[in-house]
Structure formats: C-alpha cells, structure tokens
Amino acid sequence: MDLDARKLGILKAIIDEYILSASPVGSRAISKQDGFNLSSATIRNEMADLEELGYLEQPHTSAGRIPSDKAYRLYVDQMMQKAALTDDEIKLIRAHLTAKLDEVEMVMKQTAQALSAVTHYTAMIMPPMLAANRLRHIQLVPLREGRALMVVITSAGFAREAVIRVPDEIGTGELERISRILTERLHDCRMDQLGERIMQDLGGELFERRAFLNSMVEAIEHKMEPDAPNVQLSGATNMLHFPEYSDVNKAKMFLTAVEGRNTLYELLKRASRLEFSITIGGENENDMLKDCSVVTATYQIGEEPMGSFGIIGPTRMHYGKVISVLEFMSRCLTEMLTSDDEE
C-alpha cells in the first residue's frame, strides 16, 4: 500500500478542512468537494488506508478522522502552500512597527503584539544577543557610597547598565579616567571578547585596577545574554478562543507553561541556531506543548543573527500563513534594527 497522488490529495483536503473546522472530518465532506469525483465510500476506503499508514486518527469509531502529527509533518514539508499576506495584515503589522520605537524593548513588545494580532496565536520573541556587537562606549557614573553605575553602549546602539561596587580608593576623577581609557582602547571590540581584551591589553596602564576591571567584565558578560524574563510574550489568551482549549484545565496548563518564561526561553534559544524551524505536536521536547506547534524564525542586525522569535499555536495551525508572517516579520525586524533609524 502506497501514498499515491490520490491519497495525498485526500490527505491534504482533510488537513485543510480540519485546520478550519477543528472537528473530525468525515468521508462525505471530502467526497462533496470539487476535484474529487469519488463517492464517500471510496474516500472511506482511502481514509482507512491513510489511517493504517499513520496519517490519520479516529477519536472514536463513529467519528471522522483527524490528522496525526505525522500528517502535519508531511503537509508542512511537501503539500502546504504559503499564504501570502493580505494588505490588511501588512497594514496591521506596519501599524505596530512604525510608531517611533526608540527602545529595543519596545520593538520586542510591538513585534510580539503584531505577531499575535495578525496570526491570532501566541507570539514570543527573544531580545538580541549582543555577543557579536561591538563596543562603542563605556561610562562609569558615581552613585553614593562606593557604587557606580556602569553604562555600556554597543555599535548597534544598545545600552546596558549595571550597578557595580567601587573600591574606596577610586574617586570620581579616576572613574572618569577609566571610562575614557576603556572606551578608547576597546572601541570596536566584540562584546564577547571584551573580557580577554581588558585583561590582556590593559595590564600596564590600569594594572592596579585589575580587580575592579574584573568585576566590570563580570557585570558586562552577565548583561549581554538575554535572560528568560526578557522574553516577550503576547496573545497567550488567544489560545482560549480555540476549541482545543475550551477545557479550563488544558487552558490552565498552557497558560501556566508560558507564563513562566523559562520554557519559551529554552525554545527560542534552541531556535536561534536555525534560521527557520517548525516543531509539530509530539516533536516538542516539552510535554506541555505536545498539543501545540511551534514555528520560529530569526532576525539579524546587519549580517549577524541576533535573536529568534516565533509563534505557538494548536497543531491544527494555519502553517502557510504563519510561515509567511514570520518571514515577513523577520525582514521587517532585520531592517528596523539594522537601519540607522533604530536604537
């Protein structure tokens, strides 16, 4: 028994239908569709075959069939057409993004909102990883009693702050001097090499400040990698509109899983290695997401991949549309973050 063209066609029709209706698809519904001039009985035979092959499942004897994860995988890999964005959708996205966004955090928030608004699924995005950025400026500003605020600014215009301890013997003037020397010497140094460079280059001139520089490096390194709490989430409640989540307990499970950002953080971190990824139902490592599909993409600054973002929805997701939206958004983001109009 083989997956011939007709079986494929029927499977595609079933998946398309199920994505819309969310309820098991019967043989009659398919046989009535244009294109197949087959009776429901014939479709039934084919459906039985497809079930045996693992592409369809039957919730119970007298129900229609629903696609399995395996079917979605086939669908995504071979059968699906991308759905171009409508003008309205593009407008909606632009409306979220064109407002003057001068903070990255705002860009992240707006992106997540745009994604969830346009797809009606749940959107998530991880802020940029700054490892590949280059240093532009370091400034130490004294606060009260042995503390200073260190501000580090990168080539792409990101700023990171941290409060650090300052040994008593370092005064305001000295902080200023250290700032100036570091800014001068480390200009254009990759952020993830800052540690080595500070330690190597500056042995001479700032030798007696070794310990202090060490604590600065530590603070910088800590701030460059985004953390779980920095993951932006939007539209988690969208899931409640889907019949899959009409059961309060399922909804609770899902919402609890995404509310603590750790799950999403892991997801996005792994996803940042691939330009694009689709994970369907059981393919997810996280048990909480066994009924969900996750589609992710990445954005860049210049040529350098900076972070990832994505959509979580029911396995019965409108993949074609989601993929198009993410591709579009990836271009938008890369453009926004790369252009000079952005922080």
Partner DNA sequence: GTTAGCACTCAACGAAATAGAGTGCTAACA
Partner DNA sequence: TGTTAGCACTCTATTTCGTTGAGTGCTAAC
**Contact residues for DNA, defined by CB under 7 A:** 24-29, 37-42, 44-45, 47-48, 51, 58-65
Q: Which is nearer to DNA, 24 or 235 (CB)?
A: 24
Nearest to 295 by CA among 312, 316, 282: 312
Strand 159-165 to strand 147-154: parallel, antiparallel, or no bridges (unpaired)? antiparallel
Can you tell me the distance from the alpha carbon of 35 to that of 37, in angstroms, rounded to the nearest whole number?
6
Encoded tokens for 92: 């909606």
Least distance to its own copies from the beta carbon of 214, Å? 17
Least distance to its own copies from the beta carbon of 72, Å? 25
φ, ψ (nearest 5 deg) of residue 152: -120, 130
Least distance to DNA from the beta carbon of 32, Å? 10
Binding at 211: pick from its own copies, DNA, none (beta carbon under 5-8 Å per type): none
Q: Which is nearer to its own copies, 60 or 144 (CB)?
A: 144
Nearest to 64 by CA among 116, 15, 104: 15
Binding at 197: pick from DNA, its own copies, none (beta carbon under 5-8 Å per type): none
- Asked if 204 is part of the footprint of its own copies (rule: CB under 8 A), the reply reads no
Least distance to its own copies from the beta carbon of 324, Å? 25
Least distance to its own copies from the beta carbon of 157, Å? 5
- Asked if 189 is part of the footprint of its own copies (rule: CB under 8 A), the reply reads no
Neighbour tally for 321: CB within 10 Å: 21
Q: Which is nearer to its own copies, 50 or 224 (CB)?
A: 224
Can you tell me the distance from the alpha carbon of 97 to that of 109, in angstroms, rounded to the nearest whole number?
10
Can you tell me the distance from the alpha carbon of 213 to that of 181, in angstroms, rounded to the nearest whole number?
12
- Asked if 39 is part of the footprint of its own copies (rule: CB under 8 A), the reply reads no
- Asked if 241 is part of the footprint of its own copies (rule: CB under 8 A), the reply reads yes
Can you tell me the distance from the alpha carbon of 95 to that of 331, in angstroms, rounded to the nearest whole number?
16
Encoded tokens for 195: 């540690």
- Asked if 163 is part of the footprint of its own copies (rule: CB under 8 A), the reply reads yes
- Asked if 256 is part of the footprint of its own copies (rule: CB under 8 A), the reply reads yes
Residue type, 218: E
Binding at 60: pick from DNA, its own copies, none (beta carbon under 5-8 Å per type): DNA
Binding at 68: pick from DNA, its own copies, none (beta carbon under 5-8 Å per type): none
- Asked if 173 is part of the footprint of its own copies (rule: CB under 8 A), the reply reads no
DSSP letter for 176, please.
H
Residues whose CB is less than 8 angstroms from the CB of residue 158 and which lie 6 or more positions away in sequence, other chains included: 104, 128, 130, 133, 343
Half-sphere exposure of 34 (CA within 13 A, CB side): 0
Neighbour tally for 300: CB within 10 Å: 19
Report the residue from 4, 52, 259, 287 that binds its own copies according to the rule CB under 8 A. 259
Residue type, 261: R
Distances (CA, A) of 210 to 178, 180, 322: 11, 16, 51
Least distance to DNA from the beta carbon of 3, Å? 15
- Asked if 172 is part of the footprint of its own copies (rule: CB under 8 A), the reply reads no
Task: Name the one range near its own copies by CB under 8 A: 29-37, 124-132, 206-214, 242-250.
Answer: 242-250
Q: How far is CA 123 from the centre of its chain?
A: 7
Least distance to its own copies from the beta carbon of 175, Å? 11
Encoded tokens for 84: 């171009």
Least distance to DNA from the beta carbon of 6, Å? 7
Q: Which residues bind its own copies (CB under 8 A)?
A: 102-103, 106, 109, 136-137, 139, 141, 143-147, 149, 151, 153, 155, 157, 159, 161-163, 219, 229, 234-237, 240-241, 245-248, 251-252, 255-256, 259, 340, 342-343
